[in-house]
A and B are shown apart, each in its own frame.
Chain A
Amino acid sequence: MYKIAVLGDYDSIYGFAALGLDTFPVSTREEATEKLTKLASGGYGIIYITENWALELKHEIERYQEQLTPAIIQIPGIAGNTGAGIAGVKKSVEVAVGSDILFSQE
């Protein structure tokens, strides 16, 4: 039985608590790294992470990329959409096809 976590700064994620997701507000890099490692090994199937923190923890996230769980998914934070999520999708097209043939013109 897995759970769902939301990781990010408090202002971006406090709403998810109402839906029954576990929210983990973080404010420093070390804290976030530690939290992510703990969540990934602690029975969380999906970890939503705000884009700005995903950028900070890029290295850690890549480790889980080829594992079945957890699925680490970027979501835009309160500061607005940085486009990192879309870029992630484009990147996986690039890995598979060799170049971004689907979304390059958009």
Chain B
Amino acid sequence: MASKQITPTRMELTKTKRKLVTARRGHKLLKDKRDELMRQFLELVKENMALRQKVEAGILSANKNFVIAKAGMDEATLNTALMAPKQEVSLEVGEKNVMSVNIPVFETKTRTADANDIYSYGFAFTSSDLDGAVKSLADILPDMLKLAETEKACQLMAAEIEKTRRRVNALEHVTIPEAQETIKYITMKLDENERSSQIRLMKVKDMMLEEAHHYSERE
């Protein structure tokens, strides 16, 4: 610990002791924060994984349906059918504070009240496969939005956990031992100084008595 020059004074000792108390307190708080974040993160990430698997499977089957729909009709008709969407989704982004991590809360609003109002085309020139394909995609949309929310939350929380863990480790393995070492060093130095000054006083006293009474000459 002799890497840093410390002046062994009482003031420095008080300061370091105060620093140690703060560090200990911070360490405890951050550790609690990390543990709680971790617990919530693990819950969330499991949900995230489940949602992702569901969404990926859903999109895969929707894609298949679209390929079939596309095969059944010519491209121009398909493009025209999907050209002017009837439905419009807008998004309200809120914030939720989980252990001082801000995670987004998405709330969607559709333009028309009926969620099934998704077919932006007349049914005369399109195949029924397209209806099925659009429907399968529409069914997966709520899960996709949920996925976006949880996945973003997971990313943000993961970053925060990493940061918190670094802080905890820095306090635990660097700041706290360093402060303890400093306190030990200063106390020892102060004790040593006290002893040496005591010895000096005793010696001086001896010398003064000798001067006054001349003990050694009497024998």
Contact = CB atoms under 8 A, between A and B. Distances in A.
Given A20-B85, A81-B56, A71 B38 contact: no
Interface residues of A, number: 40
Contacts of B89: 3-4, 19-21
B137 A15 contact: yes
Contacts of B190: none
B158 A93 contact: yes
A1 B162 CA distance: 32
B88 interface: yes
A71 B95 CA distance: 13
Interface residues of B, number: 62
A18 B152 CA distance: 25
B85 A19 contact: yes
A54 to B, nearest CB: 12
Interface in A24-74: 45-46, 48, 65-66, 68-69, 71, 73
A27 B97 CA distance: 39
B155 A12 contact: no
B130 to A, nearest CB: 9
A18 B103 CA distance: 29
Contacts, number: 144
A95 B53 CA distance: 21
Given A18-B87, A19-B141, A75-B55, A96 B157 contact: yes
Contacts of A45: 91, 93, 104, 106
Nearest to A70: B152
Contacts of A85: 52, 56
A31 B181 CA distance: 59
A73 B149 CA distance: 9
Nearest to B134: A18
Which 3 pairs, one residue from A and one from B, show the smallest C-beta to C-beta distance?
A20-B87, A71-B152, A2-B91
Given A48-B144, A73-B151, 16 more contacts: A1-B91, A4-B89, A20-B86, A45-B91, A46-B106, A46-B145, A65-B159, A66-B155, A71-B148, A71-B151, A75-B144, A76-B60, A78-B63, A86-B52, A95-B162, A96-B161
11 contacts: A1-B90, A4-B145, A15-B134, A17-B85, A46-B91, A46-B106, A65-B155, A75-B56, A76-B63, A81-B56, A96-B162
